[in-house]
Amino acid sequence: MNVKKKMIQVGCGGFGAYWLEVIMPRVSSFAEVTAAVDVNEDALKNAQKFVGLGPEKCYTSIQKALEENEADFLNVVVPPQFHESVIDAAIAAGLDIICEKPLGDSLESSIRICQKVKAAGRKLAVTMSHRFEVEKQTVETMVKSGAYGKLNYVVSRLTTKRMLQSGSTPETLISGALIHNLDTIRGICGCNAKTVYANCWIGAPELSSAVSGLVILEMENGTRAVLEESFANGSGMDGWSDEYLRAECTQATIVADHRQVTVKSDMGYPYPRSAQMPLLENKYWDHALIIHDFVRWLDGGTPPVTQYEENLQCCALTYAAIESVRTGKVVDVQEYLRKSLEEYS
């Protein structure tokens, strides 16, 4: 990396607090927060507490923060409906951008953001963090090595004990949570989605407002995937970062569960009956890896996997899945994207 990059963080409460407390210390050798913005003054205290900003570097106005501070990039950690306006301000100020998922709060907004970033010649990457956790990347690398045969299909599960008030809807289950698992599947299958069918519902409203969802994907290379996600169950089988993931290859089954990866096979030598596999080794994972690769891009390196044009396929899949929930039909993802590009360009 060249010189340490200066970052303005927009959104300091909610997940923004996690950025300030946990993520930024992990990347402190190549990125630092030099100013913070939040419409809620209380949330700005997180920037003072966790990264030591003075009150004069904490702003309730994004315009003022951009006028008074030079920076290399801006970090968008506000709710999705505000992503586009914050990105507009960053582009106008000539800054590159790192943005929390989902890129826009609709496919229309995501397309507009991509077009504006491209027209301005700026760089933008989306923090699809869970896909870049160590065990998911280990599974992806093992599948792509071909050492276990050809990939047939993938199963992904994230289920937790129910919450009384979840505040989520079928739409936000997909755009806020399942989006990570959908993008993980894209990575493991090594291609984009062809079709999606999604069914999401509130199962027992008298017990909980939490949502469950089942999704079936057919990928462009003929592989398939099934996803199960629920925050409404009587037991918590998984949890964020402890999800269950199974890649069925022709010679063996690769399973990730609670951050451990196992290979199982009944095909005989050289495949193990059951063996725990070593995880990949790297200095950075999840958010830190994405910021690392983004900063390398700013320094003239290759674009990260989550750069905006590539991420538009993740947005298309996410909003096609929401369309499927609304219509009850299988959605052709590429046709949905093509029509949307025609309509919104």
Q: Are 130 and 181 in contact (CB under 8 A)?
A: yes
Whole-number Å distance between alpha carbons of 284 and 334 = 33
Which position among 5, 45, 57, 101 is part of the footprint of ligand NAD (CB under 6 A)? Answer: 101
Residue length of the chain: 345
Q: Are 156 and 191 in contact (CB under 8 A)?
A: no
Beta pairing, strands 260-264 & 274-277? antiparallel
Q: Alpha-carbon torsion 321, 325, 331, 334, what sign? A: negative
Residue nearest to ligand NAD (CB): 14
How many residues bind ligand NAD, per CB under 6 A? Answer: 22
Which position among 51, 80, 114, 230 is part of the footprint of ligand NAD (CB under 6 A)? Answer: 80
- Pick the piece of the chain touching ligand NAD (CB under 6 A) from 77-85, 158-166, 183-191, 250-258: 77-85
Which position among 8, 36, 65, 78 is part of the footprint of ligand NAD (CB under 6 A)? Answer: 78
Cα angle, residue 132 at apex, residues 163 and 193 outer, rounded to 5°? 85
Which position among 6, 32, 116, 176 is part of the footprint of ligand NAD (CB under 6 A)? Answer: 176
Residue 112's alpha-carbon distances to 67, 105, 258, in angstroms, are: 25, 11, 38
Tokens of 54: 């003075």
Which position among 79, 205, 222, 236 is part of the footprint of ligand NAD (CB under 6 A)? Answer: 79
In the range 36-75, which residues lie near ligand NAD by CB under 6 A? 37-40, 43
Compute φ and ψ for 125, nearest 5 degrees. Answer: -125, 150
- Pick the piece of the chain touching ligand NAD (CB under 6 A) from 48-56, 76-84, 296-304, 308-316: 76-84
Q: Are 217 and 192 in contact (CB under 8 A)?
A: no
* Smallest separation, CB 60 to ligand NAD (Å): 8
Residue 196's alpha-carbon distances to 16, 157, 172, in angstroms, are: 31, 17, 17
Compute φ and ψ for 112, nearest 5 degrees. Answer: -60, -45
* Smallest separation, CB 218 to ligand NAD (Å): 26
Q: Residue 100, interface with ligand NAD (CB under 6 A)?
A: yes
Select 102 or 218, whichever has its Cβ closest to ligand NAD. Answer: 102
Site mask for ligand NAD (CB under 6 A), range 8-27, x = bound: --xxxxxxx-----------
- Pick the piece of the chain touching ligand NAD (CB under 6 A) from 6-14, 63-71, 116-124, 299-307: 6-14
Q: What is the dihedral of CA 97, 100, 101, 104, to 10 degrees?
A: -50
Residues 6 or more apart whose Cβ sits within 8 Å of residue 23:
287, 288, 291
Site mask for ligand NAD (CB under 6 A), range 129-158, x = bound: x-----------------------------
* Smallest separation, CB 268 to ligand NAD (Å): 41
Tokens of 213: 């969802």
Select 60 or 152, whichever has its Cβ closest to ligand NAD. Answer: 60
Q: Residue 77, interface with ligand NAD (CB under 6 A)?
A: yes
For helices 333-344 and 308-327, the axis angle rounded to 10 degrees is: 110
In the range 242-301, which residues lie near ligand NAD by CB under 6 A? none
Interface with ligand NAD by CB under 6 A: which residues? 10-16, 37-40, 43, 77-80, 82, 100-101, 127, 129, 176
